[in-house]
Amino acid sequence: GENVEQHPSTLSVQEGDSAVIKCTYSDSASNYFPWYKQELGKRPQLIIDIRSNVGEKKDQRIAVTLNKTAKHFSLHITETQPEDSAVYFCAATKGAGSYQLTFGKGTKLSVIP
Amino acid sequence: GAVVSQHPSRVICKSGTSVKIECRSLDFQATTMFWYRQFPKQSLMLMATSNEGSKATYEQGVEKDKFLINHASLTLSTLTVTSAHPEDSSFYICTLPRGRSNYGYTFGSGTRLTVV
């Protein structure tokens, strides 16, 4: 089955700096890669996603890049703010035609004012 | 977009009792729903796939007799934790995939289960 590795597990950055979180996946048939932000005790919130036919997608301060050959995708947050502090999860569909999501282990991002 | 209502949001129960968690799709036909479990400071782990009108598919290591799933209609899937034990204390969350025409998933609000 699909295996999603996420690094780092914790990340501290100064306010205004950039943060990068990386994920790798094992199933070459995976075709959808969302990123979620989860605050304590709440449901995950989708912040950005990318499909396998796209290499990069950007939404204001957030961007995601996908390298299908290497089977890795990354989340980039620029100009970080204290409210960006949360746990971020990457995920990948289990394979073509499947809607099951396999999640990475999460990255706890702390933005220091 | 799709809206999923999950209840209860928090529940405390005694060991040995059963707890039912409901996920209701308010505006989308939920032929499939996924149930995840999240232990503190850990990731979301898929427990089972709930299929409307048929048996659920369980992930390896998840006891189907302990975690009963019923998906009798296109709007409601339920997860019943039977004979709950303290180690079942976790955050349970349902997810509704929105299908080929619109990749994306709608999450329920989650249920914090504490077994004492």
Average pLDDT over residues B91-106: 79
Chain A / chain B CB contacts < 8 angstroms: 44
Residues of B in contact with A49 (CB under 8 A): 103-104
Residue B3 reports pLDDT greater than 90: no
Of B32, B105, B110, the CB nearest to A101: B105
Average pLDDT over residues A86-102: 85
Q: Give, for A10, the enclosing helix (H) or strand (E).
A: strand A10-14
| Residues of A engaging B, defined by a Cβ cutoff of 8 Å | 32, 34, 41-44, 46, 49, 51, 89, 99-106
Site from B6, B103, B111, B112 to mutate, A interface, most A CB atoms within 10 angstroms? B103
A100, A1 contact by CB (below 8 A): no
| Residue-level pLDDT at B100 | 56
| Residue-level pLDDT at B30 | 84
Average pLDDT over residues B82-107: 86
Residues of B in contact with A43 (CB under 8 A): 93, 107-110
Q: Residue A23 is which amino acid?
A: C
Residues of A in contact with B47 (CB under 8 A): none
Kindly state the tokens that stand for A77: 């947050």
> With bands split at pLDDT 50, 70 and 90, how would you rate the model's confidence at B99?
low
User: Largest Cα–Cα distance in chain B?
Assistant: 44
Name residues 42-101 of chain B within 8 A of A (Cβ): 42-46, 49, 91, 93, 95, 97, 99
Kindly state the tokens that stand for A95: 């394979």
Q: What is the pLDDT of residues A12-68, one digit of tens each?
A: 999 999 999 999 999 998 989 999 999 988 999 999 999 888 899 999 999 999 999
| Residue-level pLDDT at A96 | 63
Of B44, B91, B112, the CB nearest to A103: B44
Residue B102 reports pLDDT greater than 60: no
Residues of A in contact with B99 (CB under 8 A): 99
User: Largest Cα–Cα distance in chain A?
Assistant: 43
Residues of A in contact with B5 (CB under 8 A): none
A57, A35 contact by CB (below 8 A): no
In eight-state DSSP terms, residue A15 is: T
| Residue-level pLDDT at A103 | 95
